[in-house]
Structure 1
Amino acid sequence: MNTNSTTKFPVSQLDFSLEIKGNETEIVISSYEDHFMVIATQIGAMGTVLYARKEEGVSINATFNVSVIFGKRDEPMLVACARQLIEHVSVSGSSKPLVLSLGLKDHSAETLKGIISAVIDNRMW
């Protein structure tokens, strides 16, 4: 895994690449003042972009909202990936929302688990 970390005002960024199921996968994690952005691509482009946030309310149990900004709206596994990442952000104590871009050749559960694991291992929250 190749890793490059830069801290530049106002955005801290970490980018690295790894192989997931035979596909070279580039991941960029950026921490903005008001949100996190994760780009994972195997195609050299952004692909489907999702927005995930924790709902603030009076409920005891946390509620999360994930929506597709643009791209594939009929891929529940992409939504599940965003939900797992925003839940991890929330458990870690941050209330920032997440913008997630997935440009993938392979949308299998194994690929998405590999992306989730890589992002959590290199988290910036």
Structure 2
Amino acid sequence: MDTSDAAFPVRHITLCVDIKGHKTDIIISSYEDHFLVVATQIGSMGTILHARKEEGVSVNPTFSVNVVFGKRDEPMLVAAGRQLIEHISNSGSSKALVLSLGLRDHSMGTLKDIVSAVAEKLAEVI
């Protein structure tokens, strides 16, 4: 299911997918300087991360991902944030990312499926 409400002033996409047997709601919003991605299986925000590309003189880009609220001992959540900010950067956008992951399952497979679903839809709002 894929919807976009023209009355809402922020460009966004909502979808609901089944990931590893869990109903997963995903909302992708595009603000002027950030993307907000909410992926939830529990109906709440969960862990919130902030990811951005570091500006510098280096040829190779550097990315930073920080946990703002929530589980700080889940390296797979940080890895998902890094993959998404790299995808955003490689798509030509310089926007930062706020990522909210409210998940029942923090396995690598679940996070890969979420990153894939979000990356596929990001092109519609970049």
Per the normalisation by structure 1, the TM-score is 0.96
Letter in 2 for 1:42: Q
Q: How far has the Cα of 1:8 moved from its partner?
A: 4.6
Distance of aligned partners of 1:67 and 1:81 in 2 relative to their CA distance in 1, 3 Å threshold: same
The more displaced of 96-105 and 115-124 is: 115-124
Residue aligning to 2:56: 57
2:5 maps to: 6
One-letter amino acid of the counterpart of residue 67, structure 1 = N
1:121 and 1:38 map into 2 onto residues whose CA distance is: 13
For residue 85 of structure 1, what is the aligned residue in structure 2? 84
Gaps of 5+ in 1: none
TM-score (norm 2): 0.95
* Matched position secondary structure for 2:117: helix
SS at match of 2:3: strand
Cα distance between partner residues in 1 of 2:99 and 2:52: 11
The one-letter amino acid paired with 2:116 is S
SS at match of 1:49: strand
SS in 1 for 2:42: coil
Identical columns (%): 65
Supply the distance in 2 between the matched residues of 1:51 and 1:118 (Cα, whole angstroms).
19
Decide whether the 8 Å contact of 1:29 with 1:36 is kept in 2: yes
How far does residue 108 in structure 1 lie from its aligned partner after superposition? Answer: 0.3
The whole-number CA distance in structure 2 between the counterparts of 1:4 and 1:121 is: 15
**For 1:29, what is the secondary structure of its paired residue?**
strand
Assess, with a 3 A threshold, how the Cα gap between structure 1 residues 23 and 36 changes in structure 2: closer, same or farther: same
Which residue of the partner structure matches residue 110 of structure 1? 109
How many residues end up aligned between the 2 structures? 124
1:45 corresponds in structure 2 to 44
The secondary structure found in structure 2 opposite 1:6 is coil
Confirm whether residue 24 of structure 1 aligns to residue 54 of structure 2: no
| Residue pair 1:7, 1:13 contacting (<8 A) in 2 also | no
Q: Which runs of 5+ in 2 are unaligned?
A: none
d(CA) in 1 for partners of 2:34, 2:107:
27
Deviation at 1:34, TM superposition (A): 1.2
